[in-house]
Structure 1
Amino acid sequence: MYTYGMQPTQRLLTIKDLQDNKGIRKYSMATAISRDEAEACAAAGIHTISCDYDDYDVVRAGAPNALIITALPPTQFATDEEILRAALSVMERGSDALFTTRGLRSIEKLAHEGFSVMSHIGVSPRHSTRYGGMKAVGKTVESAKEVQRRFRQLEDAGAFGVEVELIAGETLAEISKRSSLVTFSIGAGAGADVIFLYTNDICGETETLPRHAKSYGNLAAILKEAQAERIKALTAFHEDVLSGGFPTADHAAKVTPDTLAAFVAELDRE
Structure 2
Amino acid sequence: MSSHRQETVRRIAAPDIAARKGKTPIVCLTAYTAPVAEILDEHCDVLLVGDSLGMVVHGLPNTVGVTMEMMIMHGQAVMRGSRKAMVVVDMPFGSYEGSLEEAYANAARIMKETGAQAVKVEAGETVAETIAYMVKRGIPVMSHVGLRPQAVNMDGGFKAKGKGADERKRILEDARASEAAGAFAIVVEGVAEGLAKEITDAVAVPTIGIGASAGCDGQVLVVDDMLGLFSWTPKFVRRYADLKGEISRAAAAYADDVRERRFPGPGEIYFAKAG
* TM-score of the aligned structures, taking structure 1 as reference length: 0.76
- 1:111 maps to a residue whose letter is V
Say whether 1:123 aligns with 2:143: no
Q: 1:94, 1:55 → 2: CA distance?
A: 12
| Secondary structure of residue in 2 paired with 1:100 | strand
Higher mean alpha-carbon deviation, 82-91 vs 50-59, is at 82-91
1:77/1:177 CA distance change after superposition, 3 Å: closer
Q: CA RMSD in A?
A: 3.1
Q: After superposition, what is the alpha-carbon deviation per residue over 1:24-44, rounded to whole angstroms, capped at 9, x for unaligned?
A: 22111001111111011023x
Name the counterpart of 2:184. 160
Name the counterpart of 1:106. 130
Q: Is the 8 A contact 1:32 1:49 kept in 2?
A: yes
Q: Is the 8 A contact 1:53 1:71 kept in 2?
A: no
Q: Is the 8 A contact 2:11 2:83 kept in 1?
A: no
Q: After superposition, what is the alpha-carbon deviation per residue over 1:77-122, rounded to whole angstroms, capped at 9, x for unaligned?
A: 7754554333223323431111122733432321121221012211
Per chain length, whose mean CA-contact separation is higher, i.e. which structure has more relative contact order (CA < 8 Å, sep 6+)? Answer: 2
Name the counterpart of 1:264. none
Name the counterpart of 2:105. 85
Q: 1:24, 1:250 → 2: CA distance?
A: 60
- 1:46 maps to a residue whose letter is C
Question: Identity over aligned residues, as a percent?
Answer: 26
* Cα shift at 1:234: 7.3
Q: Is the 8 A contact 2:118 2:139 kept in 1?
A: yes
| Secondary structure of residue in 1 paired with 2:220 | strand
Q: Is the 8 A contact 1:11 1:67 kept in 2?
A: no
| Secondary structure of residue in 2 paired with 1:49 | strand
Name the counterpart of 2:47. 49
Name the counterpart of 1:213. 237
Correspondent of 2:84 among 50, 65, 78: 65
Name the counterpart of 1:17. 16
| Secondary structure of residue in 2 paired with 1:213 | coil
Q: After superposition, what is the alpha-carbon deviation per residue over 1:31-84, rounded to whole angstroms, capped at 9, x for unaligned?
A: 1111111011023x1111001432111111111221111112124677545543
Q: Is the 8 A contact 1:53 1:72 kept in 2?
A: no
1:17/1:40 CA distance change after superposition, 3 Å: same
Q: 2:7, 2:132 → 1: CA distance?
A: 28
Q: 2:143, 2:151 → 1: CA distance?
A: 15
Q: Is the 8 A contact 1:123 1:135 kept in 2?
A: yes
Q: 1:78, 1:225 → 2: CA distance?
A: 45
Q: 1:105, 1:195 → 2: CA distance?
A: 26
* Cα shift at 1:227: 3.4
1:73/1:117 CA distance change after superposition, 3 Å: same
Say whether 1:185 aligns with 2:184: no
1:235/1:119 CA distance change after superposition, 3 Å: farther
Correspondent of 1:150 among 164, 171, 174: 174
* Cα shift at 1:136: 2.0
Structure 2 gaps of 5+ residues are 1-5, 50-70, 262-269
Larger radius of gyration: 1
1:90/1:232 CA distance change after superposition, 3 Å: farther
The 5 A counterparts of 1:202-241 are 202-229=226-253, 231=255
Q: 2:107, 2:28 → 1: CA distance?
A: 21
Alignment coverage as a number of residue pairs: 238
Q: After superposition, what is the alpha-carbon deviation per residue over 1:101-158, rounded to whole angstroms, capped at 9, x for unaligned?
A: 2733432321121221012211123323433433322234333222211122212322
